[in-house]
Structure 1
Amino acid sequence: MNNDTIEGKWKQLKGEAKIQWGKLTNDDLDVVEGHKDKLVGKIQERYGKSKEEAEAEVNRFWK
């Protein structure tokens, strides 16, 4: 699976992402569209995390 985008499976994974990061809105997840960098940015924005922290969480989620 491409590390930068999982667009094809994003509709399936949106629910799991919503459970993982409850502060993300449906609009946030629609904007992400399966792009890793966009998800990292939204997590940083909503949770006030560093880029490194958000990337680590997303990397665990992507696997």
Structure 2
Amino acid sequence: MQVQGKYNARIFLAEQMTRAQGLRLKRLSEEAYQPAQYARDLSFTEAARRIQVLEAEIELANSF
């Protein structure tokens, strides 16, 4: 990410989804039969939101 010609690695890394999030999101998206929910270029916040939604959907499906 470039901001006014400057590169700030901390901001860039803070915005990217972590490896752990990526692995969890991939597993959950496969378990929920929603592979489109996984993408390699998600932000940390978007990945966290998708993980939360998929966990809730899986928990709801398992309650039946």
TM-score, normalised to structure 2, is 0.39
Higher strand fraction: Structure 1 or Structure 2?
2
More helix by share: 1
Normalised to the residue count of structure 1, the TM-score between the two structures is 0.40
Larger radius of gyration: 2
